[in-house]
Structure 1
Amino acid sequence: MDTTVNGEFAPRNTYLDTASHGLLPARAVAAVREAATDIAEGRVDMVAWLDAVRQAREAFGRLVGLPPERVATGAAVASHVSLVAHTVPPGAEVLCAQQEFSSVVTPFAQRGARLRAVPLEALADEVRAGTALVAVSAAQSLDGRRADLPAIREAAARHGARTLVDTTQATGWLRLAAGDFDFTVCAGYKWLLCPRGVSFLTVPADGGGLTALNAGWVAGEEPWHSTYGPVERLASSARRFDEGPAFLSWVAGARSLALLAGLDAARIEAHDLALARRFRRGLDRIGRPAVPGDSAVVSVPGLGDAVPRLKAAGVRTAARGGLLRAAFHLYNTERDVDRALDVLGDVLAHEVRRPGGG
Structure 2
Amino acid sequence: METFESLVRAEFSPKNAYLNTASSGLLPARTVAALHEAVAIRAAGRPLDPLFEDVELARAAFARLAGVPVARVAAGASVASQTGLVAASLPAGAEVLTAEDDFTSVLNPFHTRGDLKVRAVPLERLAESVRPGTALVAVSAAQSADGRIADLPALREAARAHGTRTYVDFSQAAGWLPMEAGAYDFTVSTTFKWLLGPHGAAFLVVPEDFGGLAPLLAGWVAAEEPWDSCYGPVAELARSARRFDVSPALFTYTGVRHSLALIEELGVAAVQAHDLALADRFRAGLGSLGHAPLPAPGSAIVSVPGLGGRQGELSRAGVEVANRAGNLRASFHLYNTPADVDRLLDVLAG
Normalised TM-score (structure 1): 0.95
Instruction: Answer yes or no: is 1:129 the counterpart of 2:132.
Output: yes
> Aligned equivalents of 1:226 and 1:345: distance in 2?
62
Instruction: Answer yes or no: is 1:301 the counterpart of 2:309.
Output: no
Report SS of the residue matched to 1:2. Answer: helix
Per-residue CA deviations over 1:224-271 (Å, capped at 9, x if unaligned) read 111111111111011110110011111111110111122222111111
> Aligned equivalents of 1:219 and 1:46: distance in 2?
18
> Aligned equivalents of 1:265 and 1:202: distance in 2?
19
Structure 1: which amino acid aligns with 2:74?
A
> Aligned equivalents of 1:14 and 1:283: distance in 2?
17
Q: What pairs up with 1:44-59 in 2 under 5 angstroms?
A: 45-59=47-61
Report the Cα offset of residue 170 of structure 1: 0.2
> Aligned equivalents of 1:160 and 1:217: distance in 2?
35
- Equivalent residues of 1:78, 1:107 under 8 A apart: yes
Instruction: Answer yes or no: is 1:114 the counterpart of 2:149.
Output: no
Report the Cα offset of residue 322 of structure 1: 0.8
Report the Cα offset of residue 222 of structure 1: 1.1
Find the partner of 1:76 among 72, 78, 90.
78
Report SS of the residue matched to 2:293. Answer: coil
Find the partner of 2:103 among 98, 101, 104.
101
Report the Cα offset of residue 38 of structure 1: 2.2
Per-residue CA deviations over 1:143-162 (Å, capped at 9, x if unaligned) read 11000000011001101110
In structure 1, the residue matched to 2:283 is: 280
> Aligned equivalents of 1:88 and 1:196: distance in 2?
29
Instruction: Answer yes or no: is 1:322 the counterpart of 2:322.
Output: no
Find the partner of 2:166 among 134, 140, 163.
163
Instruction: Answer yes or no: is 1:181 the counterpart of 2:184.
Output: yes
Runs of 4 or more above 6 Å deviation? none
What is the root-mean-square deviation in Å for CA atoms of aligned residues?
Answer: 0.9
> Aligned equivalents of 2:190 and 2:65: distance in 1?
14
- Equivalent residues of 2:146, 2:296 under 8 A apart: no
> Aligned equivalents of 1:200 and 1:340: distance in 2?
33
Instruction: Answer yes or no: is 1:215 the counterpart of 2:218.
Output: yes
Runs of 5+ unmatched residues, structure 2:
none
- Equivalent residues of 1:219, 1:239 under 8 A apart: yes
Report SS of the residue matched to 2:135. Answer: strand
- Equivalent residues of 1:125, 1:155 under 8 A apart: yes
How many residue pairs align between the two structures?
345
Aligned identity (percent) is: 58
> Aligned equivalents of 1:264 and 1:33: distance in 2?
26
Instruction: Answer yes or no: is 1:89 the counterpart of 2:91.
Output: yes
In structure 2, the residue matched to 1:253 is: 256
Structure 2: which amino acid aligns with 1:188?
T
- Equivalent residues of 2:220, 2:229 under 8 A apart: yes
Per-residue CA deviations over 1:36-77 (Å, capped at 9, x if unaligned) read 12222222x322111100000010011110111010001100
Per-residue CA deviations over 1:178-215 (Å, capped at 9, x if unaligned) read 00100001000000000111110001111111111111
Runs of 5+ unmatched residues, structure 1:
347-358
> Aligned equivalents of 1:108 and 1:306: distance in 2?
35
Structure 2: which amino acid aligns with 1:175?
P
Report SS of the residue matched to 2:188. Answer: strand
In structure 1, the residue matched to 2:244 is: 241
In structure 2, the residue matched to 1:355 is: none
> Aligned equivalents of 1:289 and 1:108: distance in 2?
35
In structure 2, the residue matched to 1:4 is: 7
Per-residue CA deviations over 1:310-351 (Å, capped at 9, x if unaligned) read 0000000001111110000111111111111111111xxxxx
> Aligned equivalents of 2:142 and 2:190: distance in 1?
13
- Equivalent residues of 1:60, 1:261 under 8 A apart: no
- Equivalent residues of 1:97, 1:123 under 8 A apart: yes
Report SS of the residue matched to 1:116. Answer: strand
Find the partner of 1:343 among 342, 347, 350.
347
In structure 2, the residue matched to 1:197 is: 200
In structure 1, the residue matched to 2:269 is: 266
> Aligned equivalents of 1:304 and 1:178: distance in 2?
33
Structure 1: which amino acid aligns with 2:269?
A
Normalised TM-score (structure 2): 0.97
